[in-house]
Amino acid sequence: MNEHHGQNDQEHHIVSPFIYLAILLCLLAATGLTVWASYIDLGEWHIARGVTLFWNPVVALAIACTKMILVVLFFMHVKYSPKLTKLTVISGVFIFLGLISMTLADYMSRAWGRW
């Protein structure tokens, strides 16, 4: 794939169409899997009194995250990108998760209706 490039050409890794095709098939399979899993009661886990984890949304989000990682790494070429790009992507995810968990921690720990 990576044959000779002219001096002024953009010298970047060219991802093979076969990899794109493989990722496409994985994404389609994951879509089927997430629809299938949504029809099954995957149960719940009582972590502590009043704290329950339902497996269905956890599985749905895990599949969605896997799909996102495949798209980011291969379709968006992050696997073959400079470290700066990788750092940018990771920091974006990190800040997003940080903001979401801080907001949720606030909402869940308030004494709603008691003031």
Asked if residue 48 binds another protein (CB under 8 A), the reply is no
Question: What is the chain's alpha carbon radius of gyration, rounded to the nearest angstrom?
Answer: 21
Query: From the list 45, 79, 80, 96, which residue makes contact with another protein (rule: CB under 8 A)?
Result: 96
DSSP per-residue letters across 34-68: HHHHHTS---EEEEETTEEEEHHHHHHHHHHHHHH
Q: How many residues of this chain bind another protein (CB under 8 A)?
A: 53
CA torsion angle 22 24 27 31 (round to 10): -130
Residues that bind another protein (CB under 8 A): 6, 8-12, 14-15, 17, 20-21, 23-24, 27-28, 31, 34-35, 38-41, 56-57, 60-61, 63-64, 67-68, 71-72, 74-77, 81-82, 84-85, 88-89, 91-93, 95-96, 99-100, 103-104, 107-108
